[in-house]
Amino acid sequence: MASGDPLVLGIETSCDETGVALVRGNDLLFDAVASSMDEHARYGGIIPEVASRAHLEAMVPTIERSLGEAGVSLDEVDAIAVTAGPGLVGPLTIGVSAAKSLAVALDKPLYGVNHVIGHAAVDQLVHGEFPERVMALVVSGGHSSLLLVDDVATSVTELGSTLDDAAGEAFDKVGRLLGLPYPGGPHIDRLAREGDPTAIRFPRGLTARKDQAEHAYDFSFSGLKTAVARWVETRQDAGEAFSLEDVAASFADAVADVLTAKTIAACQRHGVDTLVVGGGFSANSQLRDMAALRCAEAGIELRIPPIRYCTDNGAMIAALGSAVVRAGVAPSDLGIGVDSSMPLTTVTV
């Protein structure tokens, strides 16, 4: 950490977590998160209005906690970074409004940054600066994206993304049809560790030869989700007993297989020898194990930050903001809006 690096306050409110963090260079001073997940569990999914109200209530206390634990004052902050997209419009608006207020009150530059790219940038707080070129696989409840990163602050190319359900979204939907609590991902992960991943051969979306030309790096999990539903319903209708553990393991194996196979192929085709995996779904044990195995076989360095940095948090936004500021990127205009479908080639607004 260089003493001259700017102190960046990062604010994340793209979904149901209110995240605030302070980063200087690649050094995290403190990361505070307030989650409203419990308020959404009874609905079986995120309710944007509930999330927005929770952000309003949590914003000031979370900022104060982050500053207090880091031992710094607002006057010491050099720049404000905030998630401007993609995400839910209401929650994004709360975060951007708070960031604008701070920027005006403190007379500090504002940077509206990309949430998905933040999931990759946060790895620099753990494993240091990226090499000249890395591949980033960002997988979460809303995103399954494959990014070629030449410079995390200025040059990101989207190679592929999900065409329907993201990996985490598919896990939640399969969890629901298996009668598991929301969110389904952690419960399926737990069951899968006790099951046989080879028990059922579920389909691998967009891996057929005919899909390679147009969708070599794209993902599709909607068909897989439907295949699991039909398999379970057929046995339930026939009164046949089956192992939830085997269903979970076979489903999880299919998702991890597709994600890692396409990502390794992209690394090899683009001459990349470092892979960064981020996003909430990167906590999945099957994905972590398969990525480690296949990267080792291919001679690719695998970088996955600890689980606390994989779910939505302020550290990822402060980390990306820090990279952007140090790269000399111009600040955002105070009139910026939010973009629920922000392109992944847009690092800053």
Same domain? 102 vs 231 = no
Within a domain: 347: no
Rounded CA gap, 322 and 346, in Å?
A: 16
Within a domain: 183: yes
Flag whether 139 is marked binding. yes
Which residue did the predictor score with more confidence, 140 or 239? 239
Same domain? 262 vs 162 = yes
Flag whether 172 is marked binding. yes
Flag whether 341 is marked binding. no
Give yes or no for a contact between 171 and 282, defined as CB atoms under 8 angstroms apart.
Answer: no
Flag whether 140 is marked binding. yes
Q: In the predicted model, is pLDDT for residue 138 greater than 50?
A: yes
Same domain? 193 vs 320 = no
pLDDT in tens, 13-42: 999 899 999 999 999 999 999 987 667 667
Q: Which of 44-48, 114-118, 195-199, 276-280 has the lowest mean pLDDT?
A: 44-48
Flag whether 104 is marked binding. no
Same domain? 146 vs 293 = yes
Q: What is the mean pLDDT of residues 72-94?
A: 97
Q: Which residue has the tokens 């553990």?
A: 245
pLDDT > 90: what percent of the chain? 89
Q: Which among 36, 32, 13 has a CA at the least distance from the CA of 183? A: 36
Flag whether 119 is marked binding. yes
Same domain? 188 vs 257 = yes
Same domain? 56 vs 151 = no
pLDDT in tens, 283-314: 999 999 999 999 999 999 999 999 999 999 99
Per-residue confidence band for 45, with pLDDT thresholds at 50, 70 and 90: confident
Strand 144-151, strand 134-139: pairing: antiparallel
Q: What is the mean pLDDT of residues 108-136?
A: 97
Q: Which residues contact 47 (CB under 8 A, 6 or more apart)?
A: 39, 40
Within a domain: 127: no
- Mean of per-residue pLDDT scores for the chain: 94
Flag whether 115 is marked binding. yes
Same domain? 317 vs 183 = no
Within a domain: 341: no
Q: What is the CATH number of the domain that holds 38?
A: 3.30.420.40
Predicted local distance difference test score (pLDDT) of residue 2? 47
Predicted local distance difference test score (pLDDT) of residue 193? 96
**DSSP track, 102-167:** HHHHHT--EEEEEHHHHHHHTTHHHH-S--S-EEEEEESSS-EEEEEEEETTTEEEEEEEBSS--H
Terminal Cα distance for the chain, rounded = 27
**DSSP track, 37-72:** HHHHHTTTS--HHHHHHHHHHHHHHHHHHHHHHHT-
Q: In the predicted model, is pLDDT for residue 199 greater than 60?
A: yes
Within a domain: 202: yes
Within a domain: 267: yes
Q: Which domain holds residue 143?
A: 132-305
Rounded CA gap, 122 and 316, in Å?
A: 4
Which residue did the predictor score with more confidence, 165 or 60? 60
**DSSP track, 243-295:** -HHHHHHHHHHHHHHHHHHHHHHHHHHTT--EEEEESGGGG-HHHHHHHHHHH
**In this structure, what token pair is assigned to residue 304?**
């996955």
Q: In the predicted model, is pLDDT for residue 56 greater than 50?
A: yes
Q: Please state whether 113 falls in left (phi above 0), alpha (psi between -120 and 50) or beta.
A: beta
Predicted local distance difference test score (pLDDT) of residue 1? 40
Same domain? 189 vs 224 = yes
Flag whether 312 is marked binding. yes
pLDDT > 70: what percent of the chain? 97
Q: Which among 24, 42, 46 has a CA at the least distance from the CA of 280? A: 46
Give yes or no for a contact between 250 and 199, defined as CB atoms under 8 angstroms apart.
Answer: yes
Give yes or no for a contact between 178 and 184, defined as CB atoms under 8 angstroms apart.
Answer: yes
Q: Which residue has the tokens 């009150």?
A: 105
Rg of the chain on CA atoms, in Å: 20
Rounded CA gap, 86 and 342, in Å?
A: 5
Burial of 243 (0-12, 13-18, 19+ CB in 10 A): middle
Within a domain: 333: no
Flag whether 50 is marked binding. no
Same domain? 214 vs 176 = yes
Flag whether 247 is marked binding. no
Predicted local distance difference test score (pLDDT) of residue 12? 98
Give yes or no for a contact between 206 and 214, defined as CB atoms under 8 angstroms apart.
Answer: no
Number of domains in the chain: 2
Q: In the predicted model, is pLDDT for residue 3 greater than 60?
A: no
Same domain? 138 vs 270 = yes
Within a domain: 109: yes
Same domain? 137 vs 117 = no
Same domain? 179 vs 256 = yes
